[in-house]
Structure 1
Amino acid sequence: MLAGGGARRFGGADKPSAAVAGRALVEWVAAAASGASRLVVVGPPRDLLPHAVVVREDPPGAGPVPALRAGLAEVRSPWLALLAADLPFLRPVHLAQLLEAASGAGASGAVLVDGRGREQWLAGCWRTAALRTALDAYTGASLRGVLGPLEPVAVALPGEARPPWYDCDTPEELARAERLASSAPGSRARVGSVHDGARREAMSVLEEWMQAACLELGLERGDIDRDLVLDLARDVAHGVARPGAPLTAYMLGLAVGRGVPARDAAARLTELAEGWRGGDVDVPPEERARTEA
């Protein structure tokens, strides 16, 4: 992760430490790379990432190519992710897609492309050996100059409300990232279902949690029908057993992932729960006791 530089467009402030949705930019990027065997950060020491290997380019602020050289010296794995430190919407699933695209094509690497089709050189995965060879023969100062000839696979992720390639070079872009992080399409209202102040507060907390979880997992809030899942969980809890509610919601998710329409699957499960008779199944006494606890 390249986390140095003078951040001139950011007013000279420590851009990687700036927060989006209550989390520093550098922490978001580190979380996206949480599956890596080690995290190498090129830049000044920060308390935000205590387990990272921190190195500096020589001299400090010399640019991305010297920073890449300094970081690459610490890499031990055959593959690496080369990332900027200001990508608040990058998630592990995006890095997995990059790695799959590069390895599947037998390429030297893969990079994200933005909405205009431009390569994002600090949002990619690379074969370590290919990158070392390219750097050994390169005398220029341009990141594009060293990475472009490697002909990486271009990975486009259309339809993203919070693009994984979105970076925060200016205070205005940081403010927009905050707005994107907090925005979510409104879910359908349930008529007459919320009168009580405590319930309104609980649903508000739930909605905040859903937005945060979607942001963390790279999901779109508008793809999740909250009321559909809650109604199904309620029907199973009342008609079968309380522990069945989260399990059934999980099974609903698996069915939807396999192509079953959510409303169809929920209707079938609700009908099953409403007609359920526990006595129809021979449940061991110890399991029945645990279920009823």
Structure 2
Amino acid sequence: MTTAFDAVVLAGGAARRLGGVDKPGVRVGGRALLDRVLAACAGAGRTVVVGDPRPTVRPVRWTREQPAGTGPVAALDAGAGALRPRDPGSAGPGVDGTDAETGASSGAGASSGPSSGAGAGAGAGASAGAGAGTSAGAGPAAGAGVGAAAGGPAGARAGAGAARARAGAGAGAVGLPGAEAVLVLSADLPFLDEATVHRLLAALDAEPEAEAALLTDADGRDQPLVAVYRAGPLRRALDELRNAHDGLGNLPLRLLAAGLRVVRVPAGPDEASASFDCDTWEDIATARARIRDHGAVLDEWITAVKTELGLDLDVDTGVLLDLARDAAHGVARPAAPLTTFLVGYAAAKAAEDGTAPAEAVAEAARKAAALAQRWAAEQDEAG
């Protein structure tokens, strides 16, 4: 996959069906909905969140449509505007690392604020009004099906690794012109993951003439808030809508795709819930119950713990569970949590000496498991 991308996350809705609560901050599986979505787009070079600033698990750029609350198309326009690079002929800044930290503003009719990170408050930003650029020639919408990107757990892990690599590269290049593609997401998608994002980007790579890749749900419905758009056509389509409707306020997002050449990406069997959004308390209850399901709860818990502790480490839960079982059965039940704690501590020490963290965990677990098995063998001999 070659398409570099930025991300726009829409998080400024009124949440009327939730009684006006702070929906992006509602927790599912111990993590805020917004933080879950930010984890899914961790491979973005730059991430803009359209909404009111708040602490987040990783630094993002904040902006807001003006006036606030005028709908998803206006919000997307504000987010896309905040991604625009510095115009050499303009005194206004683009969005780069320095501007983001100082809260300097940019964007089309948007107010932009500073980056925020975990545990850090975010200040209000200043307003700006740079217009979006245009390009000619809108193509007709097309509904081509795509068999994109390798699926399965191995593909998902590979995709996540590549995404993290791009994130590292993007972090040092945020002052450069914007990426070729813009990933657009809603902030209330509890089951979205990096594998789904990767499939959308791969679909765009596979169809050079496509201007957008949209996820479709199990019923074949387009999901314009789980989509990736080529940056130029996205700005063009927004300008065309602005001109046709004398503004972008309160327009439905489906109008955006109608003016673009679209490739549709059916949700795979492991992605059936990727577009599930939390609009009501019933939706939130459903999401919380599903995350606690026996088949998913362990992975969800490990991810939540890693996020809470600030760890970027692929943990082989099978190895650790086997170790815990061997320690519990071969020594004593309390030996299981104590042993896994010591393995983690030993792995951290090894990582300080230059060993890759995942390899350090695997090696420490192997040694501890072998010890537990020897311990059990001696008990069998004594018996």
Instruction: Supply the RMSD in Å over aligned alpha carbons.
Output: 3.6
Secondary structure of residue in 2 paired with 1:168? coil
Tell whether 2:220 aligns with 1:212: no
* Per-residue Cα deviation, 1:221-280 (whole angstroms, up to 9, x for no partner): xxx9959x839x97xxxxxxx999936x99xxxxxxxxxxxxxxxxxxxxxxxxxxxxxx
Change (3 A) 1:245 1:103: closer
CA distance in 2, matches of 1:115, 1:24: 26
Tell whether 2:44 aligns with 1:36: yes
Tell whether 2:295 aligns with 1:185: yes
Identity of aligned residues (%): 36
Tell whether 2:26 aligns with 1:18: yes
Partner of 2:191: 89
Partner of 1:220: none
Secondary structure of residue in 2 paired with 1:110? strand
Tell whether 2:265 aligns with 1:155: yes
> Could you tell me the TM-score, scaled by structure 1's length?
0.65
> Could you tell me the TM-score, scaled by structure 2's length?
0.51
Gaps of 5+ in 1: 187-207, 218-223, 235-241, 251-293
Change (3 A) 1:143 1:230: same
Q: Retained in 2: the 8 A contact 1:16–1:85?
A: yes
Change (3 A) 1:244 1:9: closer
| Alignment counterpart, residue 123 of structure 1, candidates 226, 235, 240 | 226
Superposed displacement of residue 49, structure 1: 5.4
Amino acid corresponding to residue 172 of structure 1 in structure 2: E
Partner of 2:240: 137
Q: Retained in 2: the 8 A contact 1:10–1:169?
A: yes
CA distance in 1, matches of 2:13, 2:216: 23
Superposed displacement of residue 96, structure 1: 0.9
1:37-116 → structure 2 map (5 Å cutoff):
37-48=45-56, 51-75=59-83, 76-106=178-208, 107-116=210-219
Superposed displacement of residue 136, structure 1: 1.0
Query: Which of 1 and 2 has higher RCO (CA within 8 Å, sep 6+)?
Result: 2
Alignment length, in residue pairs? 221
Secondary structure of residue in 1 paired with 2:214? strand
Superposed displacement of residue 214, structure 1: 7.4
Q: Retained in 1: the 8 A contact 2:218–2:272?
A: no
Change (3 A) 1:124 1:161: closer
Superposed displacement of residue 209, structure 1: 4.1
